[in-house]
Amino acid sequence: MDISVVIPLLNEEESLQELHSWIAKVMQSNSYVYEVVFIDDGSTDSSWNVIENLSKIHAEVKGIRFQKNYGKSQALDAGFELAEGKVVITMDADLQDNPDEIPELFNLITKENYDLISGWKKKRYDNVVTKNIPSKLFNLAARKTSGLKLHDFNCGLKAYKNEVVKSVKVSGEMHRYIPVLAKNEGFTKIGEKIVQHQARKYGVTKFGMSRFINGFLDLITISFLSKFGKRPMHFFGLWGSIVFAVGFLAAAYIGFMKIYKLSAGQKAILITDNPWFYLSITAMIIGTQLFLAGFLGELLIKNKSDEKHYSIKETLNI
């Protein structure tokens, strides 16, 4: 199979028929062997009914329906697990991503041997204040932190080698950082392509300003995980040991000075009356806690399970 198109969605009943027709037109004109995988992330409208009808008519249409709304990351993860095409293309279901971009994305992966191509919506039709400006700030921070020179981390239109999507685990709200996750797994040939962004035709956006706050928090998380996710003891253990050592040396110094003054016949205050004693004890406690955090982190990594963080209600053509 040439291409798997993975489409996560939430309450997009108006656009699904049109989107599928558009994708089918592009695929047939290029003679691709393909599948379209719709992941219904707990829609409350008739989106699943539309997908059911499409699957009855078109054998290439597959569907996954979640028990409830779990989020875009979990939807993509389910789609990635199912995808069979040698190139996997993701796009949003709201018709803001252009299926006409598919042939060039496919060629960049298959002919120029990119591991991943991320779309760049250079010209956007979103609200400048609530979306465009926060998006620019978010992408700037992501570039500086990750080292990837991408302009639009959050663009839903991306293309991957199949082995890339099988290697990354997308959870929480990490869908924004799939290029970073891929880089962490050793896929280094990552590029971008300017893609056409289209104004929303139906419905309303499912994302508010909170996604940018969550995005920055996720950025901090993934920056830490990329460096210490497989070896938390290297971070917590190191700093725990340093803080404990500082506290221990300070307490030893206070004790030594107490003994020295007493042996010299000088007046010395009680150790418990010395405020530095409590600071040193606090430092040792914090150091011990940091060390234990690293130790527990190592145990969790060694014993973590690969359980899915979503529940599938039903599937189609799978």
pLDDT tens readout for residues 5-51 = 999 999 999 999 999 999 999 999 999 999 999 999 999 999 999 99
User: Using CA atoms, how far apart are residues 240 and 231, in angstroms rounded to an integer?
Assistant: 14
Band of residue 233 on the pLDDT scale cut at 50, 70, 90: confident
Structure tokens at 222: 């993934």
Instruction: Supply the pTM of this predicted model.
Output: 0.74
Q: Where are the alpha helices (DSSP H) in 147-186?
A: 162-167, 178-184
d(CA 115, CA 108) in angstroms, rounded, equals 9
The answer to whether the CB of 215 falls within 8 A of the CB of 138 is yes
- Of 63-72, 113-122, 224-233, 244-253, where does mean pLDDT reach its minimum? 224-233
User: Backbone phi, then psi, for 88, in 5-degree steps?
Assistant: -110, 125
Q: How confident is the model at residue 214 (pLDDT cuts 50, 70, 90)?
A: low
Q: Which long-range contacts (CB under 8 A, 24 or more apart) does 224-229 make?
A: 225/184, 226/146, 226/180, 226/183, 226/184, 229/184, 229/301
| Residue 51 parent element (H or E) | helix 47-57
Domain limits of the chain? Answer: 3-228, 232-303
pLDDT at 58 over 80: yes
Q: What is the pLDDT of residue 74?
A: 94
What is the rounded CA–CA span in Å between residue 212 and residue 215?
5
Q: Which pLDDT does position 167 carry in this prediction?
A: 93
Note the pLDDT of residue 230.
67
pLDDT score of 209 more than 60: no
Q: What is the mean pLDDT of the chain?
A: 87
Q: Which CATH number fits domain 3-228: 3.30.420.40, 3.90.550.10, 1.10.1040.20, 3.40.50.11390?
A: 3.90.550.10
Q: In degrees, to the nearest 5, what angle opens at C-alpha 33 toward C-alphas 29 and 36?
A: 95
C-alpha angle with apex 208: 312 to 131, nearest 5 degrees?
125
Q: Do residues 168 and 153 make contact, with C-beta atoms less than 8 angstroms apart? A: no
pLDDT tens digits, one per residue of 121-157: 888 765 545 556 777 777 887 788 788 989 998 899 9
pLDDT of residue 144: 81
Q: What is the largest CA-CA distance in the chain?
A: 98
Give the tens place of pLDDT for each residue, 72-105.
999 999 999 999 999 999 999 999 999 999 999 9
User: pLDDT, tens digit, for every residue of 237-268?
Assistant: 889 999 999 999 999 999 998 888 888 888 88
Q: Tell me the CA distances in angstroms from 274 to 240, 250, 251, one per residue in order.
A: 24, 12, 10
